[in-house]
A and B are shown apart, each in its own frame.
Chain A
Amino acid sequence: MSSLTKQQQTTVICFAGFLLLLGLAVAMLYNLNSSRAAVDRQKQDVERKEQQARGAKPPTLEEQRKWAEQEARLTNLLLPEQAVPQFFEEVTKIATETGIQRLGMNTEEISIEPSKAVSPEEAKVIAVGIRRYLAITMRFQGQYTDIARFLGGVAKLDRPIEYHFVNLKRIVPLIEVQLVMNVYKREPA
């Protein structure tokens, strides 16, 4: 810089000033544009949310009451831990009454992990808040009518039972049955 003449120094300073000021102007315009774009995006987002909020219907009191009732009903329906022995007694009693022979039973308690991949069936179950159920596998033999009465009798129990699989096979002169049913359990309090 010191090797330049005064006029050259002035030129350099003016040119630097020109670049600086022009750069400043460009930077300000760029900043303005980006700010404007960001605010526009925010505005659009808020408007979309407002529209969603306007379109959404809050639940009526009737609806909320109905939901509470449903929840209570489901809770009551689910099998509490202490009622499990009683449930098995009821099943055994029906089997005795209907003349079922050679009844064999295997019970497995299954806990559904919400984080793990589950089957669509289990997904539906866990969606309503049920985490555990008993998978009961039964094998027995009997006459057609006895089997019908047994299946009907168990199904009519006031328990959360779902027949998952029933297989009747003819073994002359009787019918052999394999029954897999799910009994949904209440979460311990």
Chain B
Amino acid sequence: MANRILGIEYAGDRIKVVEVGFARKLKIFNFAVIDNRNVAPERRTEQLNHTLQVRGFEAKDAIIATGGGNSEHRLLTLPPLSMREMHFVMQREAKKLAPTGMAEMLWSFDVLKSKEELGIKKNQILLVTAERPMIDAAQNLMAQSRVKLQQVTTIPEAVLNLLRQIIPWKKDAVRTLVHFAGTGVHIMFAQEGTLMLSREIHFDSAEMGQDEQADRFSNELRRSMLYFRQNFPQAQLDQIIFSGDNDILGSLATRSSEELGVPGSILRFEDNLDTSGFRGNWDEFRFHLSSLTAAIGAAWRKSPGISGINLLPGKTQAKQEAGLNPAKIARAACVIAAVIALVTTLYYFREKGKIDELRQDVTERAAIVDPRLQQMVQFETSRNLAQQRSEFLKRIETRPDWTELFRSISFIVPTTAVFEEMRLEGGDTSKITIRGYVLAPSAAEGNTDFNRFFSALTALSLFRSVTMPRPTVVSVADSGSPIPGKVTNVSMPASKVTFEVVCELP
């Protein structure tokens, strides 16, 4: 339902309406051909609305292909331009294209395709100008309707839009398209789907016989082809395709080979349509299909209002703005940034609240734990102080019994030993260093005496350890050296065992 659209060919006294939708093919839902010849122009809107209502049209949007007024089509080949430049150029070209005396002119353009000429990239642009009353008439037609007019294009553009979708295009071959719409006939020359030249000829066949019509039209067509060949001498005319609401289409198609030297055919495209949603008489539809060409071509757009020519005032500007331009990008970026900033702000305040809550909790916990920790540090300091005090007291109060210590040593000193020095050094580990010698008749005796003394010293419980920092030294004593404990007047050689013992106090 949502993508249904009305395609309307509005050629003054005839209105052709199709209701289409987009699936894999163009889906046809409904159609109507309204003959306005006997209806006053001011009541044509009413008639259209009535038909739409009676025939059960459901679409809310419409595209009109209009004709019958002053309109011009020009194919321009331009290098790639920015939208701003393009607007400027198109405005200038439109002024040049508009016929002299045109009261008010509307214009629109469509960038058809890109191609390279001598290595330079160029765009083919179809520029269409139309006089304002022609577009106003189309707008007035839909003014009182519930259907919204999205786009107004020309009949040639609509026909060509259809042909682009349904027929294959041979490269370099030019096709002549002839479309009858009311009292006008549109003769178009197109190459690879691009409109090269378009002419609209008034052709009122009301009071003419079929042969006369065919003759007259053949002449018109020949003139148009000559005109085209003058303008495009390199072009090769390949085929003439006829469509529209005229009874002589078949005759013209037959005669074209003989009279114009170019094969002709009537446009057939029912195979390109999806009729699964069609309601109405299929045969009737097939009968009118050729005359519905422009209406179907007008509607066959994936982006109604944007793609193709749109002569509605202001829509060309809107179409321009639909493209990328810095202002639009900046505005979009600004909006996105505002959204991001808004989301970030909300997120910021939410998270900030959580963080503040956490900070308060942490501060409260710190306020509790800090004094406790400080107290603990004080306790620990006191504990350390007490420990040190205890060690100091122990050191001061547990002094060795020096009398007993000296007495014990005196008991174990051999008679041959002489202490030259006893040295006590206090501190953490107090130690007594005893330096002296043993004087004996022989080295063996001296060593024995020293060993006995050292063993006895080691056995004393007064010392934690007894060590010798250096080995004993045995030397021959002076002959005059007295041997303690021995009274003799005779000087005799003796062995001197010098020692140093370190006794560590507990």
Instruction: Give the interface of A toward B (CB within 8 A).
Output: 7-8, 10-12, 14-15, 17-22, 24-25, 28-29, 31-32, 35-36, 39, 42-43, 45-46, 49-50, 52-53, 56, 58-59, 63, 66-67, 70-71, 73-74, 77, 121, 124-125, 127-129, 144-145, 147-149, 151-153, 155-156, 160-170, 182, 184
Contact = CB atoms under 8 A, between A and B. Distances in A.
A121 B352 contact: no
- Which of B336, B389, B401 has the largest count of A CB atoms less than 10 A from its CB? B389
Interface string B218-244: 000000000000000000000000000
Given A165-B425, A166-B424, A18 B337 contact: yes
A158 B420 CA distance: 32
B331 to A, nearest CB: 5
Given A10-B330, A161-B399, A67 B382 contact: yes
Interface stretch (B104-112, B305-313, B354-362): B354-362
Nearest to B390: A70
Contacts of A182: 426
A155 B406 CA distance: 13
B372 interface: yes
A121 B406 CA distance: 26
B470 interface: no
B348 A168 contact: no
10 contacts: A14-B331, A18-B337, A25-B344, A35-B352, A58-B376, A67-B386, A128-B388, A163-B399, A168-B421, A169-B420
Contacts of B363: 42
Contacts of B351: 32, 36
B327 A14 contact: yes
A133 to B, nearest CB: 11
A21 B424 contact: no
B359 A22 contact: no
Contacts of A162: 395-396, 399, 426
Nearest to A119: B427
Given A127-B385, A128-B388, A73 B393 contact: yes
B352 A32 contact: yes
Contact of A25 (B340, B397, B425, B426): B340
Contacts of B318: none
B464 interface: no
Nearest to B399: A155
Contact of B402 (A15, A42, A70, A155): A155
Contacts of A11: 326-327, 330-331
A15 B330 contact: yes
A29 B373 contact: no
B489 interface: no
B338 A32 contact: no
Given A49-B373, A163-B430, A152 B401 contact: yes
Contacts of A161: 396, 399
Contact of A145 (B347, B386, B406, B430): B406
A165 to B, nearest CB: 6
Contacts of A8: 327
Contact of A148 (B352, B369, B380, B407): B407
A146 to B, nearest CB: 10
A52 to B, nearest CB: 6
Contact of B424 (A49, A77, A156, A163): A163
Contacts of B137: none
B403 interface: yes
A39 B355 contact: yes
B418 A160 contact: no
Q: Which 3 A-B pairs have the closest CB atoms?
A: A152-B403, A148-B406, A166-B424
Nearest to B404: A152
Interface in B396-417: 396-397, 399-407, 410
Given A46-B366, A162-B426, 12 more contacts: A32-B351, A53-B372, A56-B376, A74-B392, A128-B388, A144-B410, A145-B410, A152-B402, A155-B400, A168-B421, A168-B422, A184-B396
Given A32-B352, A43-B358, A59-B379, A144 B406 contact: yes
Chain A interface SS verdict (over half): helix
Contact of A170 (B326, B338, B382, B418): B418
A99 B106 CA distance: 141
A128 B331 CA distance: 78
A42 to B, nearest CB: 5
Contact of B327 (A7, A153, A184): A7
B383 interface: yes
B365 interface: yes
A32 B386 contact: no
Nearest to B383: A59
Contacts of A148: 402-403, 405-407, 410
B392 A128 contact: yes
Given A14-B327, A42-B362, A170-B420, A59 B355 contact: no
Contacts of B389: 67, 70-71, 74, 128-129
B143 interface: no
A70 B355 CA distance: 50
Contact of B344 (A28, A42, A53, A125): A28
Interface string B90-104: 000000000000000
B352 A128 contact: no
Given A11-B326, A32-B348, A74-B393, A59 B382 contact: yes
B448 interface: no
Contacts of B372: 53
B333 A18 contact: yes
A17 B405 CA distance: 96
Contact of A17 (B327, B334, B424, B430): B334
